[in-house]
Structure formats: structure tokens, C-alpha cells
A = this chain, B = another copy of it.
Amino acid sequence: MDYTIRAANVEDCKDIARMIMELAEHDKLSDYVKITQKDLEQDGFSKNPFFHGIIAEVPEKHKTKDGHTKIGYALYFYSYTSWKGRAVFMENLYVMPEFRGKGIGKALMSKVAQLGLAAGCTQLDFIALEQNKLSQEFYFRQGCSDISADFGYHYMACEGEALEHLAQP
């Protein structure tokens, strides 16, 4: 099947917001999604964006029954590790279910890897959910390693009142 992979622009935010929700629903975590199309427009497409996006798109003739032609996406941002320096973090990778098994997910991830290497990054990082065994197998086939397991990493977060309190001098 024909598809194109291209940089996301502000007009894609409606579809990115839709697919973020689809991904969260797939993971049964949709109650955690607070982000809106407007947040994505402001945060990704103003000066000093907080993230970048890429879109997988199919021709009109392959559109979904709901009329969608934007059928996959990845979000990423540049990060840093004190051991090895420049890194790229892939925050999301998603392809709509009916378009899976065609290499589109791998093509999206490959694009993030290309962009990362071009920016001098030596590492592509991301989170895999324990429950998504198929995703993990996909990532291992690409030669990725599970740093949490190798080094005993715990991913921690401070938010809400705890964050406000922490910020008090």
C-alpha cells in the first residue's frame, strides 16, 4: 500500500489529538489523557516547540470508513544523557489498527532515527508498556534494549500539588 511519511504541521493537530486518544484507548489508559488539539498546536508549532511530529498518510482511495487519511504518527523531542550526550526521545509511535503489518510503524520509527542521527544523537529512547508484548517484540527485533531492566531504572514523576510544593523556595 502507498503511504507517505512527512513532517507534521499545525493542520495535523486535530488528527494527532484523535490518534493520541486512540492509542490511549488501546492501552486502556484514556482517562489519563488531558491534552487537547489546541495544546498540541501551541506546544508543537510555535517558536521553541516542545515536541516535533511526523505523520503517515495514505492516498484518498485508501481512506478509512470515517474518512481519515492521516493514519499514523510519531512524536519526538531532543533530549540529553549525561553519559553519552545528545539523544532523541520518541514519545509516541502509533499506526491505526487496519494499517498495521505494512511496515508503516517501522518507517515512522526509522524517520525518527534518521532525524536523530542527523542532529548528532547517538541514542533513540522511548517507553514501552509492559502490557504491550507485541510492541516490545517489535522493538527488540529492531535491536533496542530494555534499559529499565539492564540498569534498574525507575521512571519517576512529580506533578500536581507535590510539584507546586517542591517549587516553594
A118 to B126 CA separation, bound complex (whole angstroms): 26
A59 to B128 CA separation, bound complex (whole angstroms): 45
Task: State the number of copies, please.
Answer: 2
Q: Are B23 and A82 in contact (CB under 8 A)?
A: yes
The one of B39, B44, B143, B157 in contact with A124, judged by C-beta atoms closer than 8 angstroms, is B157
Interface members, chain A 11-37 (any B CB < 8 Å): 20, 23-24, 29, 32-35
The 3 closest A-B pairs by CB, nearest first: A143-B162, A130-B152, A113-B167
- Total residues of chain A contacting the partner, CB 8 A: 73
Determine whether A92 belongs to the interface, using a CB cutoff of 8 Å to chain B: yes
Cβ of A59 to closest chain B Cβ, rounded Å: 20
Q: Are A117 and B50 in contact (CB under 8 A)?
A: no
A58 to B147 CA separation, bound complex (whole angstroms): 35
A160 to B126 CA separation, bound complex (whole angstroms): 16
A158 to B113 CA separation, bound complex (whole angstroms): 9
Determine whether A1 belongs to the interface, using a CB cutoff of 8 Å to chain B: no
